Amino acid sequence: MSDKVYGQSGFVEVPKGFFMASYKDSGQIGDKIIRLSESGTYSHTELVFSTLIRGVNNCASASWRDGKVRYNRIDFSTGKWDFTPLDPKLETHAIAVFNRAEGLDYDYLGVSTFPLMYLVPGWRTSKHKFFCSEICGEALGLIGRNDRLGPSMLTDIMASIAKQNNLKLTY
């Protein structure tokens, strides 16, 4: 029996390279609402890069906790995340998207009206604010569809693409 406890650092081995991390823990009330509105497993997505950005941070997203699009360092070994391999050819574009969007505000209104994006064609609250799956979708080249993707749907799409292209996580 392992002496590692779920939720503690080091619970799972974290992949190397370029991949997406999807948050699956029960989290806070906002996490529960996002999962419920999408009838999904995940409440947040991060893109994790194969190299450090500015020598410190290895991942990027838009975070309601941080209030903006940002690069960050996150301990993904806690067992609260699932990992999806991404095509390494997309990494340069993804970094460029995050470099342009870094510091833009989190789209609180957009995420609070999250179910409307599935019900109302063309629903979009802001072109200058983002929630996680929007900015990650844009960074992965899903132009024109990124404002209709929640964290679970984005994870499903990228997992399907990974399977189709035989992409594997590297440890």
C-beta neighbour count of 94 within 10 angstroms? 21
**Strand, coil or helix: 46:** strand
Note the pLDDT tens digit of each residue in 23-55: 999 888 888 888 888 889 999 999 999 999 988
Note the pLDDT tens digit of each residue in 74-93: 999 999 999 999 999 999 99
pTM (predicted TM-score): 0.90
Return the CATH architecture of domain 19-164.
Alpha-Beta Complex (3.90)
Q: How many angstroms separate the CA atoms of 21 and 155, rounded?
A: 9
107: enclosing H helix or E strand? none
What DSSP string runs through 110-132? HHHTTTHHHHSTT--S-SS-B-H
